[in-house]
Chains A and B, each alone.
Chain A
Amino acid sequence: MPASVPISWYLILSAILFGLGVAGFIYRRNIITVFMSIELMLNAVNLTFITFSYTLKKVDGHIFSFFVMVVAAAEAAVGLAIILTVFKNRQTLMIDDVSSMKY
């Protein structure tokens, strides 16, 4: 086993987590779980930012991931308010039942 961790391991972990997030976004039908899959994708992107920040020995990647966190917080506040409104009007959380905009 090497003494240091190769950079590619972090990027591969990030890709795997992003892929799992995409799979959850497509496969799940509960609107809250779909939202949590988006958060998983944002976390995976953050890991890539921090890894490249380490490789380039610059702090800019940390700033970017800080901004991603802020945007995720704002998105969670508004998104969960939208989910509450949808539930108040439709009494359901399944995205298959809230598809009237499709037609």
Chain B
Amino acid sequence: MNPLIFLIFAAVAVLCGISLVAQTHPIASALSLIGVMGSLAVLYLQLGGEFIAMAQMIVYAGAIMVLFIFVIMLLNAGAESASRQIPLFTRYLGMLLLAAFLGLISFIIQAMLPKTEGVVFGAFQGGTALAIGRKLFTEYLLPFEVTSVLILIAILGAIVLARREV
């Protein structure tokens, strides 16, 4: 059951990732990215990351992608025009080289990784909101507070950039 769920959602993630790169219209790319994020959230859940799976859906697929789609609609971004002509030979060679590179990487990961026990759903219970919150507010308190400063700076920067000149 575990490998079946992994294979289904990994296939969805890879197909949506290919679609993200291959689509010419930004809205189609954004929807593909939401597909990738949703299937990755299922895989996080399988790895015992309940809190991260929820945060992935709420923060990434919810907030960040809505921001992207707002900007796409605001700028009325259409499909890419084919101004830069890439020869068909080069395009297919690039695809082939990318596939070969990824196959090589996969082989190296498969060969070099020491044999450990596989992933079973429910074997790791440490990813609850309780455990993460406890770790976040004790051991990682300083990075957490620095993060709040980072977000404040990002808000100020976005306001300054988007301000109308007076």
Which chain A residues have a beta carbon within 8 Å of chain B's beta carbons? 1-13, 15-17, 19-21, 23-24, 27-30, 32-33, 35-37, 39-40, 43, 46-47, 50-51, 53-55, 57-60, 62-63, 65-67, 69-78, 80-85, 87, 93-94, 96
Contacts and interface: CB of A to CB of B under 8 A. Distances in A.
B98 A62 contact: no
Contacts of A72: 60, 64
Given A84-B71, A84-B74, A70 B147 contact: yes
A79 to B, nearest CB: 9
B88 interface: no
B134 to A, nearest CB: 9
A1 B4 CA distance: 9
Given A37-B20, A59-B132, A30 B63 contact: no
Interface of B is mostly: helix
B125 to A, nearest CB: 10
Interface residues of B, number: 76
Given A57-B124, A60-B135, A15 B105 contact: yes
A102 B81 CA distance: 22
Given A7-B116, A15-B102, A59-B126, A85 B67 contact: no
B30 A36 contact: yes
B64 A74 contact: no
Interface in B25-75: 26, 29-30, 33, 36-37, 40, 43-44, 46-49, 51-52, 55-56, 59-60, 63-64, 67-68, 71-72, 74-75
Nearest to A54: B47
A33 to B, nearest CB: 5
A1 B21 CA distance: 31
B95 to A, nearest CB: 9
Contacts of B60: 39, 43, 69, 72
A12 to B, nearest CB: 4
B40 A8 contact: no
Contact of B113 (A1, A11, A47, A93): A11
A23 B21 contact: yes
